[in-house]
Amino acid sequence: MTMSFSEFTQQDYEVIAREYADLKEVAMKRCANQEEMDVVQKAFEFANEAHKGVRRRSGEPYILHPIAVAKIVVTNIGLGYKSIAAALLHDVVEDTDYTVDDIRNLFGDRIALLVDGLTKIKVVLDNDAKAGNRSIQAENFKRILLTLNDDVRVVLIKLADRLHNCRTIEFMPEYKRDKILSETMFIFIPLAHRLGLYEVKSEMEDIWLRYKEPEAFNDITAKINRNVNDKEKEIDDFIAPIGKALEAASFNFEIRKRVKTPYSIWHKMVTKGITFEQIYDLYAVRIIFTPAPGTTETERDQCYHVFSIITDIYRYKPDRVRDWVKHPKNNGYEALHCTLMSRSGIWIEVQIRTKRMDDIAEKGIAAHWAYKKDGFAGENESEMDKWISKVKEILVNPDVNALELLDIIHNDLNTQDIFVFTPKGEQKRIQKGATALDFAYSIHTHIGNTAIAAKVNMRLVPLSYVLKGGDQVEIITAETEKPKREWLQFLQTRKARSIVMDYLKSERNDSVRTGRSMLENSLNASGIKVTDKILHRIMSRYGISEDNQDELYFRIGVGIIGTDDIAGSLDRQETARSKSWMSWFRPKAKKEEPAVGESTGPEHRYVTATCCNPIPGDSVVGFRGPDGTVTVHKKSCPVANDEAAKHGDRIVVPEWEESNRASFLVRLSIKGVDRIGIINEITRYISFVMSVNIRGINISTEGGVFEGSIDLYVHDKNDLDKLIRKLGKIEGIQNVVRTDL
């Protein structure tokens, strides 16, 4: 964030003193003795003097930022005095004349190492990508993750720093906001999730939504507030008999209420194509108990005991029981979830946790370490420790370039796991979506290399069979078998793909020749001439450096990249470029700093992205390609977030032209109760009342319910919102939402 210098006023000094007093109050609860508090005090005094007279873009004294980061470190993450001190000092080396050696001399080696790690992260993130270097952003993230090898606390403090920067993001120019929020969604939010930092993750998600989809955020927030006010008494009435029953069973407990966050509601609405009113688990009640001492019951047994008590009071939904006590999430989360029907007729999710489970759920890895240090890490070995070890292995692999590594880590952070069983009943964890062949490689490389088929639940299936939770899997092998290129088309796990890739490298030259021929034939058949410009565009799409064409041909030759996908993608781009898009957008007027690489000249050509199909009125962000063409996405588009996180230097901030009356294709998903004439009524209203052109309609009915989609052309988001509201009022229609084409 840009800084300025001016003398502090008396009011500034009062604000600094007040904020530090708040930090000191929470730090005293975390520090073990006065000596540790003295280190925190010394760090504050040093940082306060170093940043004296310096202000942030918002105009507030700069020292308030390190104080706020330190508060997050202790309050939200639960780290100790060294981390609090490092948070207070984290910008001193980068922004003043002090060095890491100065920090070491004053505060010791460990705090100096933490500050040094944070300084290096700040330098690489603030260093804008150089023209033509497409992987510098990925290299930056690699360096961030490499700090996991030194001290995970560096990443935890960086997450606190990123959270506070998100809290104050309103003072940044829009192009910088887009870059920071996209980085946050692509890597920092999944990282916070994997490290178990629920509060940090949730707040960053809500901030992301507030700026990426402001209308949706405001609408959902307003509905939450109205709903909570209406249902407050019902929730209290629901809790009352639970409290009495737990007291009667002599449990030492507390009960908390919570409502789903705006982001989690929005995400569910978008991914499931439902409305706010259709989210039935809007409310949650959390039961947190301290395990009874001197009992033979384990924590798990006591959680089940609580479950039996509350399900004696209320009916529960069997398909909504989630047992993360027996099978913890891969970020260490443990709890027993169930959804109960209240006596007033609303579904309420109940989460059952011990105090230890709750601390780990809220504070993540720091709480896990604290319990482990005290000799009590629970009945389950920490999946977090395993994950950190796995990440370290990936990071030091010399065969993985930065862009590939970023995708590997991003995918791994977002991967969900399932449990399957060996023929002898041994339980194995594997990522969701994995195949029988992935399972074979997870057992042993030789079993994977010689696999020919599998038996799942005693039934013969191909190696490409996608496993489901609870499957019992047996691998059939033959010593004459060896890895095949086509396996790469369905393998899902990094380990299995790496093993097969390594095996196939011995045949690399043949694969390169095959891939070159396949690509040329495919593009020629599509009428696309193979040029360096076309090759660079393809390589950019798949994260391959421009000086490594053989890698592109190799991936095509072994089947990792499909030629039909390439040709179709290029054909869509060329078709889009042949149209006159310039009247749809103009570069946004700049009030402060220009967006990196942005120009206000007429050379900009604009293309709307086919992945999200933005229409006028949508919040959009653009990315300038090598030929100057700007591809425009919705700000909430996952592809746009990935692109901004990897290539922040390409961001352009366009605006829709107000005079534009072009038509844009959108899709509405629609569902309701079938009745005679309802489809005619829908189409007649769209065509004749709203004068909207329908491109296609796909509706099916079954058991008195109809659902399907309608593709139509609209001028802008206002027209679309009006149409959705009007259709929603037709008798029998239950749900109308905009979905991806």
Q: Which of 627, 656, 685 finishes a domain? A: 656
Q: Is residue 515 in some structural domain? A: yes
Asked if residue 572 and residue 448 are part of one domain, the reply reads no
**Considering 553, 577, 601, which residue would you say is the last residue of a domain?**
577
Helix/strand/coil (H/E/C) assignment for every residue in 547-580? CCHHHHHHHHHCCCCCHHHHHHHHHHHHHHHCCC
User: Do 629 and 692 sit in the same domain of this protein?
Assistant: no
| pLDDT at residue 20, rounded to an integer | 93
**Per-residue pLDDT, 658:** 67
Q: Are residues 426 and 563 in the same domain?
A: no
Rounded to whole angstroms, the Cα distance separating 153 from 77 reads 10
Q: Are residues 439 and 540 in the same domain?
A: no
Q: What DSSP element (H or E) covers 533?
A: helix 532-541
Q: Tell me, yes or no, whether 463 lies in a domain.
A: yes
Please indicate, yes or no, if residue 305 is contained in any of the structural domains: no
Inside any domain, residue 91 = yes
The verdict on 87 and 161 lying in the same domain is yes
Pairing of strands 347-354, 283-290: parallel
The CATH number of whichever domain residue 442 belongs to comes to 3.10.20.30
* Total structural domains within the chain: 5
Q: Are residues 497 and 572 in the same domain?
A: no
In a domain, 238, yes or no: no
Provide DSSP, 629-664: EEEEEETT-HHHHHHHHH-GGGEE-EEE-TT----E
**177 vs 182: CA distance, rounded Å:** 8
Show the domain range for 715.
664-739
Whole-number pLDDT of residue 380: 43
Last residue of a domain, one of 639, 656, 673: 656
105 within some domain? yes
Do 19 and 118 fall into the same domain?
yes
Answer yes or no: is 261 within a domain: no
First to last CA, the chain: 38
The catalytic site residues sit at: 94-95
Q: What's residue 140's pLDDT?
A: 56
Write the CATH number for 162. 1.10.3210.10
Is residue 426 domain-shared with residue 517, that is, in the same domain?
no
Q: Are residues 143 and 165 in the same domain?
A: yes
Does residue 146 sit in the same domain as residue 41? Answer: yes
Query: 480: which 2 tokens?
Result: 């004459």
Q: Are residues 57 and 114 in the same domain?
A: yes
Average pLDDT, 10 consecutive residues per value, the chain (741 residues): 70 92 92 91 94 87 94 88 93 87 92 85 54 47 59 84 92 85 84 82 95 92 86 89 94 91 92 83 89 80 94 90 83 87 88 90 69 50 58 56 55 69 83 90 91 91 89 90 87 86 76 85 72 78 74 81 69 45 50 37 67 84 78 84 75 75 83 84 81 85 84 87 87 86 70
Q: Which residues pair with 288 in a beta bridge?
A: 254, 353
**What pLDDT was estimated at residue 598?**
39
Global pTM reads: 0.69
**Does residue 254 lie in a domain region?**
no
Residue 592: its pLDDT value, please? 40
Helix (H/G/I), strand (E/B), else coil: 265: helix
Closest CA to 605 of 587, 581, 589, 632: 581
On whether both 694 and 630 belong to a single domain, the answer is no
Q: What is the model's pLDDT at position 72?
A: 93
Q: Got the DSSP string for 172-187?
A: S-HHHHHHHHHHIIII
